[in-house]
């Protein structure tokens, strides 16, 4: 999937800026005897789709919904980049912590971020009646 390869590419660039000698091939980031493959469940899309669905279903003006969806997508993907970069670093430096960091901590944090982001956005939409537009 091209989007997932883009996540790997950007993550690889960030890791190189941080001094990690990594290479990126498709959706795989590798270096120093360690590598991670970013699969479809690890690209932030599921959380982004849940967030956008909730925003689009919320009774708010369409302009606010579209702006909220776009801003939320961007924010979720930024958090996901932090996730991928940190997981590579954890796996490379502390391999014993990789599996729990990947499957328990970061998966939960990304989904929780999307939920909290929706509640913050929805709270900002509530209040005085807003004109459709």
- Based on its alpha-carbon atoms, the radius of gyration of the chain, rounded to whole angstroms, reads 17
**pTM of the predicted model, to two decimals?**
0.89
pLDDT tens readout for residues 2-24: 899 999 999 999 999 999 999 99
Residue from 31, 35, 34, 27 nearest 8 by CA: 27
Tell me, yes or no, whether 41 lies in a domain.
yes
pLDDT tens readout for residues 43-77: 999 999 999 999 999 999 999 999 999 999 999 99
What is the domain count for the chain?
1
Q: How far is CA 127 from the centre of its chain?
A: 29
End-to-end distance of the chain based on CA atoms, in angstroms?
35
H-helix or E-strand spanning residue 25 = strand 23-25
Range(s) of the domain holding residue 82: 2-125
Percent of the chain with pLDDT over 70: 94
């Amino acid at each position: 999937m091209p989007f997932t390869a883009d996540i790997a590419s950007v993550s690889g660039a960030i890791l190189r800026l941080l001094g990690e000698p990594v290479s990126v091939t498709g959706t795989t980031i590798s270096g120093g005897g360690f590598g991670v493959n970013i699969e479809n469940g690890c690209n932030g899309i599921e959380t982004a789709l849940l967030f956008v669905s909730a925003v689009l279903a919320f009774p708010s003006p369409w302009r606010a919904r579209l702006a909220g969806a776009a801003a939320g997508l961007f924010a979720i993907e930024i958090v996901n980049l932090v996730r991928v970069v940190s997981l590579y670093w954890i796996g490379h430096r502390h391999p014993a912590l990789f599996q729990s960091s990947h499957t328990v901590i970061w998966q939960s944090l990304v989904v929780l971020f999307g939920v909290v982001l929706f509640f913050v956005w929805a709270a900002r939409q509530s209040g005085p009646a807003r004109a459709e537009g």
